Structure 1
């Protein structure tokens, strides 16, 4: 027998044989990080060397990756069994476990500790338990336990369970006879619950979503998530609306190396409208070698489906639902695509009917771009398209468009000059059905000449003690297109393009190919940029431009919707955008009608954002473009997110129509983020496309990965408040215990 007499401190080092680590039953070799010497430090050590050792008095046993502290300890070297009592603390691989009595096989990692306080997985789980069983490395089972992932459990939530299993090899937690407690208040009793320990997706019931709206009343959704495979999942969601009934919703997602897609289906027996209502959405994308293809189908059962059942402005304003299929390929400058497109057009407001777009059955495009012909600066571009237009009430037919062009680029560091010449040919074949307009098959041929040119100047400058490079970039753009009478041509898809800087430097003021304006015009514009010399970031950019018509009268117009132009110049366009100081950002544009004279359009967006979670937005929109005064637009838009108390953030938006003298959307709420739990309360009211008002209330309490209650307003906040960000995590003190 080996006996070491008590001294101030005795130290014993044991060069043990390699250890073993185990799963739940069968031991397996440990990694090299667990191999090495074992040391025991205590007031007194007794035993037989190589067999059994007993240590007493401030015992500390150390081995690679593991430290055990106790009042008394017995260690069986041969079997690797350990028994300890009194003020136990076990530190191993990110775990910190304290208790009264410990039994543990160091080889298999199987044992238990009683009356324990635990912190596992580097602080991601903590709590108390009558008994904590070690079931192998990174696997635990607890009896009469509490569990939380909060840094400060007394200010958050915890789970009380009679039986709790934490398996970090599968990142899965399971609890039986559990109660969920928040701020000391029991929220729910759960006979059984499983949850992810690292946020990964897993099958099971998701926590309910609770909300309210004026269209459906109070509502409750209880989704079930099915993790079918790493590349497939499905969610089934019963949604109970007090005013309307039970809606069933299913979503299926799939992802493969060559294809991916998502299917969503909904069905409701609506008590309020006394009818069955349904919705379907399917998006599928697939690749066949060098070919890309896809299918997109959206449909609903009735015109007011989104207005009655949608909970977001973007959804409730949807009126055209596409049904399309496409296939395309692009290689070596040659691209081809085939597309079949048709719409379901909703009419939510009988007093304001929506025009149904033409179906394209099919639309075939073939484009070819050949740059640097012969190794020079000559570029060849061929654009062609064949479309068969179909409409239930309007004239329909086919349209063939070909537009070959050649351009030549001469450039240097300070200037460029690019002439371009092309021929736009359009052929129509009109169907006899629905043709009450007298249109006949015809061909339109238009030569198009354009010249784009510009200069680049720069200089060094200083502003506020900072060095900048200021540029001056004048640009001239000339277009010449002869007049062709197009009043006898159908209009399948042309509209008036929005007047903007990009449109100033385009050949045609119309979208589509059915209307091409005659032109003999020059666009003159100048842009100046302020570039930070230290970072290369563009801090400020200002532009101003105007188009000048060498031929005063323009006779090509849309049918009954656009008045032919009869001025020598276009409106003046100006814009200013950039970073004003460290925290301010400005974006503005202005369109001035020189004939009136008056401002035709104006927009201003000013943002102040000194830090994440601190943002204030001010916006103004004015548009007199519509001829009828009743259609003009004038709106203010104010929104923001700001801290109002430690951990608390306020969010709000007010979108007001000056013309209508009423708000179009009002949003207000508060949000609290404590790291391991978040609380969001948001109310929203907006005007739908049909002119009706819709009100939604969002209330969400989310507790890490274990549970969440309510409806999530995140999408609404991100859309309504530009620059919205999640609040910063609170800095909480380390907890001492979890108190049920």
Structure 2
């Protein structure tokens, strides 16, 4: 095999262990990205005595040597010539000749030097080896570290131990042999494979032998372990909010269970905006704290002369497992002003919104019980939102639910909530605050067989209010609404063959009836209630309202049917089709404002269609169709495709809602060549007849580096179109920086999985 050859003088040792793609085994090729032309394959180490491998540094391990010719002076020296091979421990060195000074414990080797060890290969023009310490010095050296696929050259390389190497006047890269797309050149480099860290002084980054960046001192990873250090700069531009910006993040690997990233960034016209993101992992769970701060925003001051130009943002969330069944959650976000998220935010995990949530939650779950305690509030960002339309704080909300029995079930759910908000200037029901206690006991007979199920049940929805600032009479009152439900379904199956494949088709008709009387509820405030969106799964909901302040009147029957096609070979669901409709026997009287009351005797037809003819191809259609006037009320259709390796991605979508909303979107990533892929997305609003979002650019990927460059336009909440350019670069083995890949992941479904797979495979060529 080529990897076993002896290097010629001056030859790059990395080329000896490089195997072209067409010479790899099928299993190895599957682990190598398509844009790599081959892989490093480490040959097996020469067989050594078990005792010799006990101490890899050498020490008192015996020195073994062989050659074509030898001259030996007793207790003084040995001169070896012709095919010299020296082994000690798991170190093996070959050369043309060697002089062993027994008294000094030193071996001087000359001619082409070649050495292999566990995870490395070295070559040079000459070497000195210390038998007692295991230290070896090579002149005009070439080196290769297999796990990281890192290779390079040095005027002098010192193998201090099997895991540490000191390099003088060195150059290193993770690119394929003969392709120095990038390299680090330094006066001194120290590589520690035990810690996974490299250090270098007077470092310059060269791209195609052209210097592009300089560090007086640099540390960098040489494997996939985390380490502190500068991340790659990122930059971008937008025509609104941020302007031209440049950021240089610094990563702090503080401990195995916590770290932080500090990102100072200069924004043209605004100044220095600094962001800090800290992550902590305890035995209870994970916590993330993100902070942003800008001391004096000149641009914001010009736009809002009376506003405070000191700007900040905060986002904290934690999820904790506190014991068997117990979990805790805290989610808290705050910003200095309404425009912070659109102008400055990069690291806070919150997008442009009208309200920011502040919530703490404690919950317990087991097989038949559930308990939850929540404290929640909000920061309203849009000052144009009226006080009457702002959400209530819940201080607190307590929920307890329990199920007892099998066939004969008893279900109990209770909820206590105290609702509060600033009601200054409000009148009528909008000014009311106070507590609501709701309990919904249910008795059900749940009978299930392989051929179907039936579930009749009786439920009582009882709610009691104790309100303050209530001007409709006494604030203490109750509302009780009984429910009767009967849910029934059948299962039919048949097997058939289609184009040589065996399938199972199920036919699942379902009837669901629910009855509840109308109760006058116009005197009850609306704390948290809304009308549910109508789609197929809502056909089987008990009530048309969510929240506790309205309970709908019902006398309706749902009829629906679902059919599924499953592969008998793999069990994969290849197709699913569902359609259903509600038939009303009474008019709906209980309303929420002007919504929720109707006289129509039937609903629109609600349907869903899901097709998965191939593992990488999926089509979904859902919608509402009015059979009376042959019109579509709502619809969403999407086509998702990805190749097996996720190099090809395609998303097509269309959304429609009663002429109020109609948008089409297309997103794609497709290879133009083995290394270059085009990236794009387009969102078009048919109602306003305009483009509301685009993303276009390219991605270049090779074994040793990748780059994404995209231009993006998107519609902000204030109806402005924002234009920005995003850039990201990744050097294999040394990390990268920028934000383009994150934006592409949000725009094109499947791109995140594409990135994850590439990170797993690269550098796969250094793992064999």
> What TM-score does the superposition give when structure 2 sets the normalisation length?
0.86
CA contact (8 A) 1:495 1:512 kept: yes
The aligned residue for residue 604 of structure 1 is 637
Q: Distance in 2 between matches of 1:563 and 1:328?
A: 33
Partner Cα distance (2:151, 2:348) in 1 = 42
Determine if the alignment matches structure 1 residue 554 to structure 2 residue 588.
yes
Partner-residue secondary structure (3-state), 1:307: helix
| 1:682 equivalent in structure 2 | 710
Question: What does residue 178 of structure 1 align with?
Answer: 203
CA distance in 1, matches of 2:474, 2:598: 25
Q: Which of 67, 73, 85 is equivalent to 2:98?
A: 73
Contact 1:673/1:728 (CA < 8 Å) preserved in 2? Answer: no
Q: Does 1:253 align with 2:279?
A: yes
How far residue 107 of structure 1 moved from its aligned partner, in angstroms, is: 4.5
Q: Is the Cα contact below 8 Å between 2:291 and 2:348 reproduced in 1?
A: no
Contact 1:518 1:554 in 2 (8 A): yes
Superposition pairs of residues 674-713 of structure 1, within 5 angstroms = 674-706=702-734, 708=736, 711-713=738-740
Shift of 1:442: 2.0
How many Å separate the matches in 2 of 1:543 and 1:45? 86
Residues 234, 247 of structure 2: 8 Å contact kept: yes
2:117–2:162: 8 Å Cα contact kept in structure 1? Answer: no
- Across the aligned residues of Structure 1 and Structure 2, the Cα RMSD in angstroms comes to 2.8
Aligned counterpart, 1:428:
465
Aligned to 1:319: 354
Residues 577-586 or 73-82, more deviating: 73-82
TM-superposed CA distance for 1:59, in Å, is 2.4
2:253 aligns with one of 218, 222, 227: 227
Alignment deviations for residues 519-554 of structure 1 (CA, whole Å, 9 cap, x no partner): 111111111111101111111000011111122x10
Cα distance, 1:66 vs. partner? 3.5
Shift of 1:77: 6.3
| CA distance in structure 1 between the aligned counterparts of 2:732 and 2:399, rounded to whole angstroms | 50
Structure 1 or 2: larger helix share? 2
- Aligned partner of residue 503 in structure 1, secondary structure: helix
Provide the residue aligned with 2:433 in structure 1.
396
Looking at structure 1, the residues matched to 758 and 477 of structure 2 have their Cα atoms a distance apart, in angstroms, of 65
1:333 aligns with 2:363: no
Aligned to 1:359: 393
Matched position secondary structure for 1:449 = strand
Report if the CA contact (8 A) 1:476-1:524 is conserved: yes
Taking the aligned partners of 1:438 and 1:357, their CA distance within structure 2 comes to 24
C-alpha distance after superposition, 1:146-201 (max 9, x if no partner): 01122246242101111111111111101111110012221101111001111322
Which residue pairs with 1:307 in the alignment?
342
* CA apart distance, 1:258: 2.9
Give the C-alpha shift of residue 63 in structure 1: 5.9
What are the equivalent positions in structure 2 for 1:52-71 lying under 5 Å apart?
A: 52-62=77-87, 65-71=90-96
Hey, what's the Cα distance between the residues in 2 that align with 1:558 and 1:390?
A: 20
Alpha-carbon separation, structure 2, partners of 1:238 and 1:110: 43
Judge conservation of contact 1:165–1:174 (CA < 8 Å) in 2: yes
Deviations 1:616-647 (A, max 9, x none): 111111011xxxx6xx1101010110001221
The alpha-carbon deviation at position 609 of structure 1 amounts to: 2.4
Quick one: structure 1 residues 328 and 165, their matched pair in 2 at CA, closer, same or farther if it must change by over 3 Å? same
* The structure with more strand, counted as a fraction of residues: 1
Does residue 147 (structure 1) correspond to residue 177 (structure 2)? The answer is no
Report the 3-state secondary structure (helix = DSSP H, G, I; strand = E; otherwise coil) of the residue aligned with 1:502. helix
Matches within 5 A, 1:242-641: 242-268=268-294, 269-274=296-301, 275-290=309-324, 291-310=326-345, 315-331=350-366, 333-347=368-382, 350=384, 355-372=389-406, 377-393=407-423, 394=430, 395-432=432-469, 435=470, 440-551=475-586, 553-560=587-594, 562=595, 564-581=597-614, 583-611=616-644, 612-624=646-658, 632-641=660-669
Answering whether residue 748 of structure 2 is matched by residue 714 of structure 1, we say no
Secondary structure of the corresponding residue to residue 314 of structure 2: strand
1:22 deviation in Å?
6.7
Instruction: List runs of 5+ in structure 2 lacking aligned partners.
Output: 1-46, 302-308, 424-429
Q: Larger deviation: 231-240 or 664-673?
A: 231-240
SS in 1 for 2:746: helix
Give, in whole Å, the separation in 2 of the partners of 1:16 and 1:496: 75
Q: 1:141-220 alignment to 2 at 5 Å?
A: 141-152=166-177, 154-214=179-239, 215-220=241-246
Q: Where in structure 2 are the equivalents of 1:657-668 lying within 5 Å?
A: 657-668=685-696
Please state how far the C-alpha of 1:20 moved relative to its aligned partner. Answer: 7.2
Q: Given the superposition, is the C-alpha separation of residues 344 and 639 from structure 1 closer, same or farther in structure 2, using an over 3 Å criterion?
A: same
CA 1:14–1:387: 2 relative to 1, 3 Å? closer
- Rate the CA distance shift 1:446–1:353 in 2: closer, same or farther, 3 A: closer
Whole-angstrom distance in 1 between the partners of 2:765 and 2:513: 70
How far residue 48 of structure 1 moved from its aligned partner, in angstroms, is 4.9
- Name the CA shift for 1:570/1:106 in 2 (closer, same or farther; >3 Å): farther
Write the deviation string for residues 452-478 of structure 1: whole angstroms up to 9, x where unpaired: 111111111121221111111101111
The C-alpha deviation readout for 1:48-71, integer Å capped at 9, x for no partner, is 578743221232345664432211
The answer on 1:670 being equivalent to 2:705 is: no
Give the match's secondary structure for 1:217: coil
Q: Secondary structure at the match of 2:717?
A: coil
Structure-2 change in CA distance of 1:123 and 1:193 (3 Å): closer
Q: For residue 9 of structure 1, what is the aligned residue in structure 2?
A: none
Helix, strand or coil at the partner of 1:717: helix
Paired with 1:402 and 1:15, the residues of 2 have a C-alpha distance of: 77
Equivalenced residue count is 698
Other structure's SS at 2:378 match: strand
Task: Please tell me whether residue 83 in structure 1 is matched to residue 108 in structure 2.
Answer: yes
Q: Deviations over 1:25-76 (max 9, x none)?
A: xx7787xxxx8x9451x33122157874322123234566443221111335
Gap change, CA 1:439 and 1:181, over 3 Å in 2? farther
Distance 1:354-1:684 versus aligned 2 partners, 3 A rule: farther
Counterpart CA distance in 2 for 1:93 and 1:106 is 18
Instruction: Give the conservation status (yes or no) of the 8 Å contact 2:48–2:89.
Output: no
Contact 1:14 1:39 in 2 (8 A): no
Deviation at 1:245, TM superposition (A): 0.9
Q: Report if aligned partners of 2:228, 2:253 keep a CA contact under 8 Å in 1.
A: yes
Secondary structure of 1:486's aligned partner: coil
What CA distance in whole angstroms lies between the structure 1 residues aligned with 2:617 and 2:369? 45
Inter-partner Cα distance in structure 1 for 2:762 and 2:318: 45
8 Å CA contact 2:588, 2:596 repeated in 1: no
Shift in alpha-carbon separation, 1:437–1:271, aligned structure 2, 3 A: farther
